[in-house]
A and B are shown apart, each in its own frame.
Chain A
Amino acid sequence: MDGEEPKKGDFFLSLHLNVQTMSQLIWIKMANLVFELEKKLAVQLPSPLSSPGIKRNIDKMKTVLEEAGLLSLNPAGERYTETRTDLEASITGADAGDLVVLDVIKPVIYADQGGSRTLIQKGVVIVGNK
């Protein structure tokens, strides 16, 4: 018996999801690059306001990422606990006392689709005592 043809609605849905998934990987790469760029500029420029043009461009890039449904967060300086599944941590020094995020190699990225948020990239961080 021949199978039923897929309904048009299903086709639209699956097509839409595929489009999102494929482009999402590229957007994640872009989010990582924007993060690295910002990190480098923070080291080289005395203050973010010393070049409003650069800051404006970085902000624009972040806006574009948000429009693509990605929320990129930099956890630098935040308290680290073992319950934080949004971070993939390497722990330096002794595992004692209050740990904080000392260095961020990759940012935390959430995807926002239809109002529901999902962690799609764990932040790769180095944690330790201050």
Chain B
Amino acid sequence: MSTTINFAIDLGTTNSLIAKAGNGTVDIFKNPAGMKLTLPSVVAFRKDRILIGDKAREYVEKDPGNVFACFKRKMGTSESFFIPNSGEFKTPIELSSIILQELKHFIFTGETPESVVITIPASFDTIQSNATKEAGYAAGFKEVLLLQEPIAASLAFANKEGKTGMKGQWLVYDLGGGTFDVALVKIDEDEMKVIDHEGDNFLGGLDLDQLMITQLFIPFLEEKYGVRDLTAKMLRANGIYNRLYYQLLYKAEEAKIALSNYPTADVEFDFTDEEGTVQEVFFTIDREAFNGCIREKISYSISFIRRLLERNRLGAGDIAEVVLVGGSTYIPLVRSMLAAELAISVNTSIDPTTAVVEGAAWYAGSRMSRLEPSVMKSLGEDGASKGKKKDAAAGGVEVKMAYQVNTRENEEYFAASVKQFPVGGFYRIIRSDGGFDSGFKPVAARISEMLVLMPGTLNIFQLRLYDAGRVPLEVEIPEINITQGRFSVYGQPLPNDICLEVDDADNKITHLEVIFERNTILPIRRSVTKALSRTIVKGSDDQLLINVLEGSRYASPPSNLPIGVVAITGKQLSTDLVKGCDIDLTFEISESRDITVTAYISMIDAEFTSVFSPSTRTVNIARMKEETDYLYRVGDRQLSKLLAKEQYEESAVLQEAMKELEVIQRELKKMSADDVTDARYQLDDRKRRLAQVIDSAEKGDRMVLLKEEYYAKKEDYYEMLVQAGDTDLLKRFAALGAEESEWMEHCSPRFLRMKIKEMDRLSWNVRRKDLGHVTAIYMYYAMKPDDAYSNIGEIRLLKKRGDEALTRGIVDEILAIIHRMYELLIDKNRDETMTGTGLRG
């Protein structure tokens, strides 16, 4: 069974792209280094390595002898380029094949396509076309189909607009980065054909940027800063203004893009003048000024169209539309001048930068590959296929690597020995985050490279070997893992999460918020801003607690190790701290594991700092009292449940724990806040152990129920939100469930309860409008006996009015009654209430 080709490449003069069609869509692959869609069609043969794309383009001006761009213009000629660095010659075909191979590296799906559609300009003759095909084969493709760029672009537009689009004949106007083409395309009995074409190989976006610099930027700078002859000074290689030139090139492109979307663009940058003063430049360019400097060039491009139309004896009425391709066609003047001067409608329905590759991919997705997979397979078994050849080429290759696993340096020396390396082959080392690429380097028995590291983190590199044709070899080489950062004296990253305890005011409990994740390398610093969850009155005993704990972020706060508390009491305050005011908290952990917590309260402009170290553990007695009381309540409730279910074995363990808690409670009552003995630490350890017992006793039982509640609510609320059609809420709802699989298995009942409450809150605005839902809530309160409420007379009246309201079905009216009923309810299940930390979660 044969399959469709699917893969397509736009092999452009300035930039190239790769895409794949499948499942009714086209995916354009991004460069893993920097996530850009385009790869500059440039190859640099530097002293000891081959660079491709963006890196190669940086050296176009500095090392012109060894760097090659625009070689597409030379396709099909006998010209070959001499490379002084290697003493070799390279043909345009070879250079194009390097670009094609590099584009294959963009395919993150792990596929290695054997068939591909490659686009060519309408102007390419048979020899140039065949040369492109040859480049494709040299890049390792077994089947290469060519497609003319204007046809490819037209297919992208046709696909966008359905069958009704693209009738009769139309123009494809392609103004790219460095080249301009216009083609006349016709559809005849369902067949698209390029009838005629025109073009200029030296007209593109780069020329427009240059015009902006010479006509707008330079006159402004010369006048404002009194610099004479700025152009000449900027272009002098070692001149003081050489830096400014590159800055202006970048700023011009940025302004051009901004002016394509907005009527004005702000240009802002600094430069150092001849006196050494830093000048801050700011000026605004409007679209009119921009249009003024590029109008002539656009007019010039339109003259090609006129010629094309005259030659084919066509008038504007004969052309259905002008289809725009190439990044420079985003410019509004291009669009308006084409429409005004030619009186032909302009089609801008598709992204002009990707139209060619997109259309080519649609084409590739509809063309069957002529390669027979079955034949390929048998060839493979005979050892004649590329895959097998790869294995054969890689056979016996052995790589041994040497490098320092941990380092404080920003670069690390890497060396490897390669046994039975492929003669004429290459190696390449890439950092997994895209920040480093060695380029292709010739492989030898010993290879070495300076690896640039990202600071303070684990750097993962991949070494790959290639044969002489730069086809990757299937050799298993382990990842290179280097951790950059200053290690603590303990020589290890953080063993546990470091968390902050915060209040969950709605649930009247506290929970943990992670400050530093496990495995983070020291030293580390982080700031967070929290709001005060209750007012702390000046002079009172009430305290704001910044409680730092070590342990899993999913556990309950009492079961984690407290490593530091900053308590700010009312007595320390010069004025009341009002609920809602901001507190900036900065946490720092030094290499020697000292923890510094700084709290800055902007409202009173006061800063509180405490330094803790693991050897001087801080335990706040008031806080511990509160925690033990809370644990006792939870444990007591759980014990009653177990006894009711006659689970005596489990209840015995819990009973023991409760007895011990009572002992702690008694001890704590006796202890003064400034007790100097280590009793408080012993009690804290005991408390934590008991917290774990109570946690787990509660967890098994509660977790099943809570999980059921969580999943049931998630499903109900989801349906409800979909029905309500509130996309914003749906997005927020989806974000709530993020990383669910990660925390679900390890979280505490508190954490899960918090998640359920979050879902409740998020969906409330939709639920409160749902009559069925509101009725259910009302029924819940109405079914409670009258004596559960504080005012029996009023509750009876409310129930009567509520029943009447149900018959009317007015949601707001029922809700008002529910609110009042809730207020009258005596036991609001506040037995878990605790004072908390004072920090809002």
Contacts and interface: CB of A to CB of B under 8 A. Distances in A.
A63 B527 contact: yes
Interface string B706-736: 0000000001001000000000001100110
Interface in B427-448: 431-439
B436 A15 contact: no
Given A19-B731, A119-B433, A60 B527 contact: yes
Interface in B580-622: 584, 600
Interface residues of B, number: 59
B249 A90 contact: yes
Nearest to A11: B734
A40 B237 CA distance: 27
B77 to A, nearest CB: 29
B433 A60 contact: no
A63 B33 CA distance: 25
Given A78-B410, A82-B51, A83-B439, A93 B238 contact: yes
B72 interface: no
Contacts of A59: 527
B435 A91 contact: no
A78 B238 CA distance: 20
A84 B452 contact: yes
A28 B825 CA distance: 50
A15 B434 contact: no
User: Looking at chain A's contact residues, is the secondary structure mostly helix, strand, loop, or mixed?
Assistant: mixed
A92 B246 contact: yes
A85 B33 contact: yes
Contacts of B237: 92-94
Contacts of A107: none
User: Looking at chain B's contact residues, is the secondary structure mostly helix, strand, loop, or mixed?
Assistant: mixed
A38 interface: no
Given A85-B33, A85-B34, A85-B434, A95 B439 contact: no
Contacts of A83: 49, 55, 436-439, 449-450, 452
Interface string B23-62: 0000000000111000000001010010100110011011
Interface string B445-467: 00001101011010000000000
A120 B731 CA distance: 23
Of the listed residues B433, B449, B526, the one surrounded by the most CB atoms of chain A closer than 10 A to its CB is B433
B303 interface: no
Contacts of B247: 90, 103, 105, 126
Contacts of B207: none
Contacts of B246: 90, 92, 126
B55 A85 contact: yes
B382 interface: no
Contacts of A122: 33-34, 54
A12 B737 contact: yes
Contacts of A116: 432-433
Given A12-B734, A60-B529, A85-B436, A94 B243 contact: no
Nearest to A67: B528
B63 interface: yes
A56 B452 contact: no
Contacts of B527: 59-60, 63
Nearest to A125: B246
Interface in A49-78: 56, 59-60, 63, 66, 73, 78
Contacts of B439: 82-83
A124 interface: yes
B823 interface: no
Nearest to A84: B452
Contact of B434 (A36, A73, A86, A128): A86
Contacts of B280: 40, 43
A16 interface: yes
Contact of A15 (B35, B46, B59, B731): B731
A89 interface: yes
Contacts of A34: none
B435 A8 contact: no
A18 B584 CA distance: 31
A42 to B, nearest CB: 10
A84 B435 CA distance: 6
B243 A92 contact: yes
A122 B140 CA distance: 30
Nearest to B237: A93
B250 interface: yes
Contacts of A95: 59, 62-63
A31 B814 CA distance: 48
A61 B527 CA distance: 10
B535 interface: no
A92 B450 CA distance: 23
Contacts of B738: 16
B541 interface: no
Of the listed residues B46, B452, B529, B737, the one surrounded by the most CB atoms of chain A closer than 10 A to its CB is B452
A95 B436 CA distance: 20
A120 B438 contact: no
B410 A91 contact: no
A119 B51 contact: no
Contact of A88 (B58, B269, B455, B718): B58
Contact of A86 (B278, B436, B584): B436
B242 interface: yes
The 7 closest A-B pairs by CB, nearest first: A90-B246, A119-B434, A86-B435, A95-B62, A15-B734, A85-B33, A117-B433
Given A19-B734, A90-B58, 11 more contacts: A15-B730, A16-B738, A18-B731, A43-B278, A66-B526, A82-B49, A82-B55, A85-B33, A85-B431, A86-B436, A119-B433
